[in-house]
Amino acid sequence: MSQAINTTKESAYKKWIIVLSIAIPLAVAILFGVNLRKLGVDVEPFTFLPPIYAFINGLTAFILIAAVVSIKNGKRKLHENLMKVAIGLSTLFLVLYVAYHMTSDSTIFGDANHDGILQESESLALGFTKYVYYFILISHILLSIIIIPFVLFTYLRAILGKFADHKKLARIAFPLWLYVAITGVVVYFMISPFYA
């Protein structure tokens, strides 16, 4: 009886994970394209947010490393709590990121004179750096989408007590999530000189 209940619960969780893994990136993409100020809403741009969500990314990376260290030292409860914090921080990052883009104009990498246009001279001044920036940015965005189901399924396996399966999936999820968190900070530092 208990096994049947667990299987039903697991099936329901899996459906929610699939829904969330599709809905979150879609919602972010849609909201990313909505600028409240351009729609006539009288709202101050949240230009103070980028360093805050960059800090949150950095803190997430630190928490993820601490969580791995804690489980390797047999501190399961600490590991569990740290992972909950990491998930919470990533959720907070997402909310702040969307809030920034819904109230502020996007910053163009290399736009040194802050006119919203990347002129040829500005592009040339970037040199090879622009390729590094766009590689990091694109890989960060793609992996931030891919990581959602990995994190949620890894968490689900822990909740269900399937620790062997949890550990197998965590070996994939951890480096991807860590990369996303670290590159979020790198992207911020690379683009921050071009914020208006």
Extents of the domains making up the chain: 46-107+115-194
SS3 state at 162: coil
Helix runs in the chain, H state only: 2-32, 49-72, 76-103, 120-126, 129-159, 163-191
Structure tokens at 40: 């006539």
Q: Which CATH superfamily is domain 46-107+115-194 in?
A: Cytochrome c oxidase, subunit III, four-helix bundle (1.20.120.80)
pLDDT digits (tens, 9 = 90+) for 8-62: 778 888 999 999 999 999 998 888 788 888 888 888 889 999 999 999 999 999 9
Whole-model pTM: value is 0.90
Q: Say how far apart CA 129 and CA 96 lie, in whole Å.
A: 27
Q: Residue 151: how many CB atoms within 10 A of its CB? A: 22
| C-alpha 92 chain-centroid distance | 9
pLDDT, position 6: 65
Q: What does each C-alpha distance from 158 to 22, 84, 166 come to in angstroms?
A: 22, 12, 6
Closest CA to 190 of 101, 149, 182: 182
pLDDT, position 105: 86
Token pair 């040339």 is at which residue?
124
CA Rg value for the chain: 19
Position 2 pLDDT exceeds 60? no
The lowest-confidence range among 22-36, 81-95, 126-140 is 22-36
195: confidence class by pLDDT, cuts 50, 70, 90:
confident
Contact, 183 vs 97, CB < 8 A?
no
Closest CA to 35 of 25, 27, 26, 45: 45
Structure tokens at 68: 């791995």
Token pair 């071009």 is at which residue?
194
Closest CA to 190 of 145, 147, 144, 130: 130
